[in-house]
Amino acid sequence: MKIKINEKDLRKYVRKIMKETILEASPSTGLSKKQKSATVKKAKSGGDIGKKGKGFAKVAKAAGGGEKGQKIAAAAMWKNIKR
């Protein structure tokens, strides 16, 4: 049994699935653009990221420093943001 699929509908469907997958994978899902911007500015200025006394630089240094430490600190930052 053959099913006829319109190419236009197929493209729409693929785009929808890709968009949903990307949204699920984003660590800042559920935050508005304004909230994301405020969070990044706060982290860059050395403010607390999610928990009191835990600045971005402190977390990055404790996680091993360098690029690895920054990635771990960024993951912790997005995880601890109040949604």
pLDDT the model gives residue 34: 92
User: What own/partner pairs with CB < 8 Å and gap ≥ 24 does 15-24 have?
Assistant: none
Lookup: tokens for 67: 């690029």
User: Average pLDDT in the 43-58 region?
Assistant: 79
Average pLDDT value for the chain: 81
pLDDT the model gives residue 25: 66
Of 11 and 19, the structure prediction assigns the larger pLDDT to 11
For residue 48, the SS3 value is strand
pLDDT the model gives residue 46: 80
Torsion sign (Cα): 59, 50, 41, 76: positive
pLDDT the model gives residue 65: 85
pLDDT the model gives residue 21: 67
Q: Is 63 a residue whose pLDDT tops 80?
A: yes
